[in-house]
């Protein structure tokens, strides 16, 4: 693994929410190697703390618990919350109330940098034959996308009002390898995920930034040139997986909404009532 020089800079005291999730488990050892202290939190059980770690199990909707999480931290990598499309009542507490609690606790404890795990589902109703930039209007594709759009707006407010810097990462599809043809465009390798998160934590001036979390894939729907100021330089590509993914899906229905829109299968989900 070859990472940029910024990845070697000390990261200070970092809170990682959603530490029991797939990306949280992947980032945990990568951040621990660079952080002065890594505090890990999730509503689900977490593996016991190792050297340089603390574990605090907490629900994001528990305001008092979130305030305890932020005490003494230099920055937050906020992955916590529901990461799939669900009924609104299931999403609102963790993703909307919980994200508000994180930002308000950051304000009260003078935490000045947050890396917020947003999602490509904030813009899921753009078509797959379009190339879009982060400053284009949001077009969320469901309750989950709406909750992430709220998080981005909240981050904008807390930067404008209180100076809390945020890098909103509209994460594509982060897995060991692309799982289908759609992910040839949206794939983010774990090493590039690390590069992006570390760049977001170490760039001297993050301000309020919205970038797509994606590797250097030849086919892409997103103009990610605005990520350059962070120092993010993806080094992986979905191209080595193309032949296998296309062989597994030799034909796609051009009229299928999951093929038309960048959201993929999320446009088929719901209503839940």
Residues classed as catalytic = 144
Cα gap 216→237, rounded to integer Å: 5
Does 193 sit behind a cis peptide bond, omega within 30 degrees of 0 on the bond before it? no
Cα gap 271→26, rounded to integer Å: 32
CA 148 to chain centroid: 10
For 16, other C-beta atoms within 10 Å of its C-beta total 28
For 173, the 3-state DSSP assignment is strand
- Whose CA is closest to 70, among 90, 100, 44, 25? 100
Q: Is the dihedral of CA 9, 14, 19, 23 positive or negative?
A: negative
Longest dimension (CA), the chain: 54
For 206, the 3-state DSSP assignment is coil
Report H helices in the chain: 22-32, 63-70, 88-91, 98-108, 143-162, 183-186, 190-202, 242-248, 257-260
Q: Is the dihedral of CA 23, 144, 167, 108 positive or negative?
A: negative
For 249, the 3-state DSSP assignment is coil
Please classify residue 137 by burial: count the beta carbons closer than 10 Å to its beta carbon, then call 0-12 exposed, 13-18 middle and 19+ buried: exposed
């Amino acid at each position: 693994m070859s990472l940029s020089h910024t990845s070697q800079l000390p990261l200070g005291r970092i809170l990682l929410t959603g530490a029991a999730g797939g990306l949280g488990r992947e980032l945990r050892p990568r951040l621990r190697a660079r952080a002065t202290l890594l505090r890990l939190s999730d509503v689900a059980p977490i593996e016991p703390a190792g050297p340089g770690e603390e574990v605090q199990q907490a629900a994001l909707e528990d305001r008092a618990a979130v305030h305890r999480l932020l005490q003494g931290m230099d920055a937050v990598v906020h992955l916590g919350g529901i990461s799939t499309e669900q009924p609104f009542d299931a999403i609102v507490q963790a993703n909307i109330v919980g994200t508000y609690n994180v930002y308000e606790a950051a304000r009260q404890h003078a935490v000045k940098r947050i890396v917020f795990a947003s999602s490509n589902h904030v813009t899921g109703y753009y078509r797959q034959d379009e190339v879009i930039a982060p400053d284009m209007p949001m077009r969320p594709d469901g309750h989950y996308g709406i909750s992430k759009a709220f998080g981005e707006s909240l981050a904008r407010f807390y930067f404008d009002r209180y100076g809390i810097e945020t890098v909103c990462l509209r994460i594509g599809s982060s897995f060991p390898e692309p799982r289908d043809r759609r992910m040839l465009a949206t794939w983010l390798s774990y090493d590039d995920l690390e590069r992006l998160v570390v760049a977001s934590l170490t760039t001297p001036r993050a301000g309020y930034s919205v970038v797509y979390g994606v590797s250097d894939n030849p086919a892409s729907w997103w103009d990610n040139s605005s990520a350059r100021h962070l120092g993010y330089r993806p080094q992986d590509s979905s191209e080595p997986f193309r032949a296998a993914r296309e062989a597994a899906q030799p034909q796609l229905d051009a009229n299928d909404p999951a093929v038309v829109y960048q959201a993929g299968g999320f446009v088929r989900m719901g209503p839940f009532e």
